[in-house]
């Protein structure tokens, strides 16, 4: 959590790309990039992906 907060403080995730090595590390990133209200749908059909997904946000660098 602390590392993700620090990365978001230092970098502009809309233009600076962050690569998460496992999906669950992107959860805090998803919260900080406007998907907090949707977190209850995480990994559910029709909900948020458990991994970074460019269709969800331009803050995600690529799909995994």
Predicted pLDDT of residue 47 = 97
Rg of the chain on CA atoms, in Å: 11
Which tokens belong to 33? 């990039």
Residues 46 and 21: their CA atoms lie apart, in Å, by 24
How many folded domains does the chain comprise?
1
Predicted pLDDT of residue 21 = 86
- Residue numbers of the domain that contains 61: 1-64
Give the DSSP H or E segment for 28.
helix 27-30
Q: What is the pLDDT of residues 17-63, one digit of tens each?
A: 999 988 899 999 999 999 999 999 999 999 999 999 999 999 999 88
pTM of the model: 0.88
């Amino acid at each position: 959590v602390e590392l993700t907060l620090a990365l978001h403080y230092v970098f502009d995730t809309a233009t600076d790309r962050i690569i998460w090595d496992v999906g669950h590390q992107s959860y805090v990133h998803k919260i900080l990039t406007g998907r907090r209200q949707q977190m209850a749908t995480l990994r559910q059909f029709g909900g948020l992906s458990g991994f970074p997904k460019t269709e969800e946000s331009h803050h995600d660098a690529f799909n995994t």
